[in-house]
Amino acid sequence: MSIQTITTILSSRETAGAQLEAAMAFARTCDAHLQVLPLGIGIDQLGMVQGGLDAMPMAVGLEDALQRAKEMAEFAKAELSNEDIRWDIEPFTSVPGGLAADIARHIRFSDLVVQQRPADAVAGYAGKVAEAVLFDADAPLLMLPADIQIAAPAKTIMVTWDESATALRAARLAMPFLQQAARVHVAIVDPAKDAPDRSDPGGAFAQFLARHDVKCEVSVMTRTESSISETLGQRAQEMGCDMIVMGAYGHSRLRQALFGGTTRTMLEKAGLPVFFAH
């Protein structure tokens, strides 16, 4: 699958510059069209109005949100005006209660969404955007750390493998990046003793990648940290990886929200760009 449209949603003026720069780099790498969506989040009516008796707080909130979106749109236009990529800008507003549906409606034709994790409120807004992208829009997500220099294209990539459908889908959708990488590490953490490929962990998956001209090697790991996510992050750093590719939300969103999980931890704390697909 080729990546023809890359989308980035700008919601904060503080992070808009770095996020836009990274999105442009990946759009240039893929020779893709860049869709920029400046987002202003207004006040949720249910949180402000009792019985619908006073509509003013809602109106003021949306007016301010639209102004913020327009300001970020002007900033993005100035940044993109001299770039050698194809792009368009469409500012929009939403309220917390309708954020997932509004995001899904705007990105439904995107092949990849590039977002930068904010330095604060990570588990809140970033998690909502991620779930809207992965579940409601069924699009892959490249989540970038808040404070890292982005390499595009990535030269060394870790692909996590656990025999799951989500892991295979992530690898397929990330194939353009994997094919451009100089090295790809297939990472398997504590493979199950009764796995279909127990005699050759990751062998069939590595063959699948090789047939797509991906230069890869398999690394079977023992969990050395307190969680799988920490083990993956530590080994990716040691291997000099520029990106991690992984399937997202192998368990239900409710279970992940209540008990945590690898996806949530990687979304909130990963020190490298992570390509997610569900």
The listed range with the strongest mean pLDDT (32-46, 190-204, 212-226) is 212-226
Quick: pLDDT tens for 199-234.
Answer: 788 999 999 999 999 999 999 988 876 788 889 999
How buried is 184 (Cβ within 10 angstroms: 0-12 exposed, 13-18 middle, 19+ buried)? Answer: buried
Domain final residue, candidates 144, 174, 203: 144
* Helix residue spans in 81-227 (DSSP H): 99-107, 127-131, 165-173, 175-180, 203-210
Residues 68, 173, single domain; the answer is no
Looking at residue 198, its pLDDT comes to 67
For 36, the domain range is 5-144
Looking at residue 197, its pLDDT comes to 64
Residues 212, 247, single domain; the answer is yes
Distance CA 229, CA 6 (A): 27
State the chain's mean pLDDT as an integer: 85
Q: Find the CATH number of the domain harbouring 131.
A: 3.40.50.620
Residues 136, 169, single domain; the answer is no
Residues 140, 162, single domain; the answer is no
**More reliable by pLDDT, 195 or 50:** 195
Q: Is residue 149 part of a domain?
A: no
**More reliable by pLDDT, 255 or 75:** 75
Helix (H) or strand (E) holding 112: strand 112-116
Distance CA 152, CA 28 (A): 9
Is 46's pLDDT higher than 60?
Answer: no
Domain final residue, candidates 144, 179, 202: 144
- What integer is the mean pLDDT of 4-8? 97
Looking at residue 50, its pLDDT comes to 43
Domain final residue, candidates 144, 167, 189: 144
Is 76's pLDDT higher than 80?
Answer: yes
What is the torsional sign of CA 151, 29, 108, 58?
positive
Neighbouring residues of 131: CB distance < 8 A, sequence distance ≥ 6: 100, 253
Looking at residue 261, its pLDDT comes to 75
Is 47's pLDDT higher than 50?
Answer: no
Q: Is residue 222 part of a domain?
A: yes
Q: Is residue 232 part of a domain?
A: yes
Distance CA 111, CA 105 (A): 14
What is the torsional sign of CA 57, 62, 63, 67?
positive
